[in-house]
Amino acid sequence: MLYQDRHLTVFDKPAGLPTIPSRGGGPSLATETGLLVCHRLDAETTGVIVMARTTAGQRLVSAAFEVRRVEKVYLAVCRGELPDTGVCSVPLGEWRRGRVQIGQGRSAETAWTVRSRARGRLLVEARPRTGRTHQVRAHLAESGAPLLGDEAYGGESGHPLALHAWRLTLPWPGANDRLVLAAAPPPALEATWGESLAALEPTR
């Protein structure tokens, strides 16, 4: 648990736990906690996720996501080529057979900064400005650098999915009008990158 008040509980979600039950059933964050879903992370993505303890809390958080007042920052380990900074604005469509359709569907935008290059890999800070399914994964792959472990989008196999929801800033009454929530990069992401990320800070 990263934060709790009477309306919200914020978790550092582990890999392998979906936000809501999969079609085949099984455990999920929603069923295990009994809390209300405000947004989602892919099952294999780790990091900050906000759940609501009340319907009022769920409405406030969902509304902030809807009008794009929530700032999200992800860390990813990729293999490929990217400029030091960039933006991908390729539309993303429906989810089919484990991936979304790229190049058609709803507007989507992700900005990125390459934080480091080593051992043929890229450490990328990604800031999705919209909230489409698989957005960071699809946009980085489309830009030329799929995530390690992300076989659905051409990523190198043999690794856990190298994507972590690192920071989330949420407008919130009673917390100086803003909650800044952070989850340290997990050991699996550090192992994929090859060194500690504990001292890393966002670019802004």
- Give 42-72 pLDDT, tens digit per residue: 999 999 999 999 999 999 999 999 999 999 9
128 contacts 74 by C-beta, under 8 angstroms:
yes
- CA dist 50 and 8 (Å) reads 7
29 neighbors 17 (Cβ within 8 angstroms) = yes
Return the active site residues: 42
The domains found in the chain, sorted by start residue, are: 3-193 (3.30.2350.10)
What value does the mean pLDDT of the chain take?
95
**Cα–Cα distance, 197 to 193 (Å, whole number):** 9
Query: Could you read off the pLDDT of 120-132 as tens digits, one per residue?
Result: 999 999 999 999 9
Structure tokens at 65: 């996501």
One-letter amino acid at 147 equals L
* Residue 36 pLDDT > 80: yes
SS percent in the chain: helix, strand, coil, step 5: 20, 35, 50
CB-based burial label for 67 (10 Å; 0-12, 13-18, 19+): exposed
